[in-house]
Structure 1
Amino acid sequence: MWYKIILPGLIMLLLLTGCWDIKEIEDVGIITGVGLDVNEENDELTMINQYVVPGKIPTQQDSSQQSTPFQNIALSGKSFFEIIRNNSLESNRPPNYTHLKSIVTSTTMLEKERADEVIDLFIRDHEFRRTTPVFLTREPVLDVLNTESEKEIFPAIQIKSLSENYQINNTNPNNLTIGDMSQSISEKKSFLIPGITLEEGRIKLSGAGIIEAESSNYVGWIDTKDIEGVRYIYNKVQGGFIYLDEKVIDDGPVVLEIKDSKTKYKTKVNKDQLEMTVQVHISSVLAEDWGIGRKVFQKGWKKELEEAANQVNEEKMERVLNLAQQEYQIDFLNLSKWVQIHEPAYWKKHEKEWSEIFTDMKIKVEVKTKITDFGTQNFNTE
């Protein structure tokens, strides 16, 4: 009967071999952020790896930050794979990208190199995750990654957190991941990369950069003020607010909080001429009203606010459409998607001519805003 006791013990010894391949955190080169730029001296690729320095991370017992808990190592080379391997010349900790939080690339990089070639390693290598967000900057990338953030101890994590606020303020560009980039590139579509900048030593979201489908290069910039129009056309508005000043209403200003927004696309082909209507339906709440003389108990008083909101948002969308059709002549708004869905026969016939068709296509914008609630005051008089 002794074997009934010894045999299970032997099996457990074989199965529970311990953490034989464990590595101490100090021996692992954990990378939280990657920066991509061009070396101005020799025109080579530059890759910046933001290493975690475990021994300098503040603890709960000692929350005071005595020194910087990260180290940025910038190296140049002919390929990113070469640069990664050459990190061993400056650090005995091989870089590990499984905890990568953000990738920042410069406009200079994507002017010089094709975006599809730049992201090849990040799509191909198993350590890089397709969910990692990507950002574009017109600043030197090393300056961005060297910035000591106020809310996070690592700049790369601070940058990632910026992409999580898009449902609060519609001037924030939507999040874009490496996987999103790969999909747009494979579908041969132009797209936008969220922009970041440095303002008074702080990292801040700022507009977006345009990547053109055919060249796969950076070709222009969308300012922060125009991002809201982009998001309405993208059907990516989940919240935010509408600000109405004295230019559009008699007694103001007024702030409407957006509770819901839906964008619909209608197409029509008339004698082989394509037309499109972009309709936006917004449900909002009166969040703040500086119009002390407003007759809120008078029936129909909110009509002025709703019409003003319609006008403001239509102008924002029309300005963005003008940028796309006239200034850049690039469909970075992805309107071709709706032509493919609603007019498949037309698309099949004219797909190769889309660049020319897009710039001349008649696009009408219609916005319908409805105020559905009035806060705790509840002045609900239709």
Structure 2
Amino acid sequence: MSGWKKLTSIYLIFPLLLTGCWDIKDIQDVNYLTSIGIDYVEGQYVVYGQLLDFSDVAKMESGKPLQPIPVWVGQGMGDTTLSAVNDLYHTSEMRIFYGQIITVVVSENVLKKGLKEIDELRHRYYEMRYTPWFFGTTEPIDQIFAVTPFFNLSPLMSLLHQPQESYKQESVIAPITSREFVSDIHEPGKATLLPSLSISDRHWKKGGDPHSMLEMDGVFVLQDGKYRGRLTRENIPGLRWVEPQTQRSPLILRSGGKPQVALSLENPKVKIIPHVKGKEVTYTVDVKLSGNVSEIIQPMSERLMEEKAAELVQNEIKRTFEKGLEIHSDLLQLEHALYRQKNKDWKKIYAERDFKITTESLQEIKVSVKLNNAGKLKLP
């Protein structure tokens, strides 16, 4: 065989050795789920899927769209979550992909029923990650998925998909990922706090008409992996002061019901100290906060501000603790602190018994507040 024929043969063989993705699909040929919701109604599971057209999302890079980006919400029903997903497939024109899910929402009915079916769904579809945000709700999930943000922006900019942005500005209820949720429910003595998502049309208007927006209005509480109940935002004012993730949160000092000073408190440093005497345990909660003065309505010295703020924070923590006890939950994570710090004592005292935290368990709440500055405001 001549040299040029050998060379030609080699060139023809090379393409056969190249690997490639023979079954790869274009982006427009796949339905990408961005959120998935699970409900339990009259003995059947209902699975909701939120779809977005990523080509519309990409167009936003060149400017704000004139029209709202459409949101598609699908619904499937079945005896299990997997059969409900299969029911959804019946009318899906293209393959559904789970690797882009940003948020998982479950109803209170699902929390009451148990989390086994949620685990089955997550383990069945390997594309699903543990990074999505995790919420509970008492609202219809399809309506949650249909809420759109300001200015015709992408639904990916909403609280549903970016809860951390709102939390940075006002830290009240900490968002949680699926990974954190799964980790917490398996931690002995720990209360898992799942943010409750609701729809509100009280705050914003568009062209004079109310515009629905999402908000976190409370928490669903699971103690040692068992569902205990739901607490509203008003019932848990002290959670923010014992949550290390808190970045800043407002506090209003009042006298006779009238506001005097508005503060912004930041970055709590929290210590929970267990005191073991025989088979009895009490706890001290030590909280240190720093902050700034946001507004002065009635003149007050800096020292008095710090004292009144510390007293108010202390009362909010105690109130939150007591609300948790009403549903047999330890919102301050006292028992978990004993489990972590004095595991041998925990095994002797708690491992063989059910929930043991009582009002007497909380021996003391210590709070100190240090105000760094008042900005342009002048303190007396």
Which interval holds the TM-score relative to the shorter structure? 0.7 to 0.9
Query: Cα deviation per residue 1:137-188 (whole Å; 9 max; x = unaligned)?
Result: 11111121122333643379541212443232132x1121211222123335
Please point out which of 232, 241, 244 is paired with 1:235. 244
Paired amino acid for 1:310: A
Task: Tell me the secondary structure at the aligned position of residue 351 of structure 2.
Answer: helix
Alignment of 1:1-382 (within 5 A): 13-14=15-16, 20-39=22-41, 42-53=42-53, 59=59, 64=65, 66=67, 69-111=70-112, 113-123=113-123, 125-150=125-150, 152-154=153-155, 158-171=159-172, 173-188=173-188, 189-200=190-201, 201-213=212-224, 216-217=226-227, 219-247=228-256, 253-291=260-298, 293-294=299-300, 301-325=301-325, 327-353=326-352, 355-363=354-362, 364-376=364-376
C-alpha contact (below 8 Å) 1:32/1:99 kept by paired residues: yes
Structure 2 CA distance for partners of 1:231 and 1:4, relative to 1, 3 Å: farther
* Amino acid of the structure 2 residue aligned with 1:193: L
Checking the alignment, whether the CA contact within 8 Å between 1:170 and 1:227 is kept in structure 2 is no
CA distance in 2 between partners of 1:245 and 1:8 (Å) = 86
Output the CA distance in 2 between the equivalents of 1:198 and 1:128. Answer: 26
Q: Could you say what secondary structure the match of 1:210 adopts?
A: strand
The residue identity in structure 2 corresponding to 1:213 is: D
The alpha-carbon deviation at position 98 of structure 1 amounts to: 0.6
CA distance change for structure 1 residues 376 and 11 in 2, over 3 Å: closer, same or farther? farther
SS in 1 for 2:59: coil
Offset at residue 26 of structure 1 (A): 2.4
How far residue 376 of structure 1 moved from its aligned partner, in angstroms, is 4.0
| In structure 1, distance between residues paired with 2:267 and 2:183 | 28
The two structures have a TM-score, normalised by structure 2, of 0.84
Partner of 1:297: none
Q: C-alpha separation between the residues in 1 aligned to 2:198 and 2:267? A: 30
Cα offsets for 1:38-58 (capped at 9, x unmatched): 23xx42000011122457668
Distance 2:63 2:336 in 1: 54
Residue range with higher mean Cα deviation, 25-34 or 264-273: 264-273
Aligned pairs, number:
364
Structure 1 pair 129–156 and aligned structure 2 pair: CA distance change class (3 A): farther
The Cα offsets for residues 166-218 of structure 1, whole Å up to 9 and x where unpaired, read as 232132x112121122212333543111011111122111111112436x33x
Relative to 1, partners in 2 of residues 1:330 and 1:64: Cα closer, same or farther, differing over 3 Å? closer
> 1 CA distance for matches of 2:323 and 2:91?
46
CA distance in 1, matches of 2:339, 2:63: 59
Q: Tell me, what secondary structure is at the counterpart of 1:160?
A: coil
Task: Give 1:65 shift.
Answer: 5.2
> Structure 1: any 5+ residue segments left out of the alignment?
295-300
Work out the percentage of aligned pairs sharing the same amino acid. Answer: 22
Partner of 2:206: none
Which of the two has greater strand per residue?
2
Maintained 8 Å contact 2:296/2:377: no
Q: Deviations over 1:64-90 (max 9, x none)?
A: 455752211111001222222333310
Residue identity in the other structure for 1:192? L
Q: Does the 8 A contact of 1:246 with 1:253 survive in 2?
A: yes
- Deviation track 1:225-251 (CA, whole Å, cap 9, x = no partner) reads 3444123234332222322123489xx
Counterpart contact for 1:191–1:333, Cα < 8 Å: no
SS in 2 for 1:316: helix
- CA RMSD, 1 decimal: 3.1
Give TM-score scaled by structure 1 length. Answer: 0.84
The runs of 5 or more residues in structure 2 that have no matched partner are 202-211
Could you tell me whether the CA contact under 8 Å between 2:47 and 2:76 is conserved in 1? yes
Moved more, 128-137 or 82-91: 82-91
Shift of 1:220: 1.6
Distance of aligned partners of 1:29 and 1:96 in 2 relative to their CA distance in 1, 3 Å threshold:
same
Structure 2 vs 1, CA of residues 309 and 2 (structure 1 numbering), >3 Å: closer, same or farther?
A: farther
In 2, Cα distance between the equivalents of 1:19 and 1:332?
Answer: 50
> Taking structure 1 as reference, are residues 319 and 7 closer, same or farther at Cα in structure 2, changes over 3 Å only?
farther
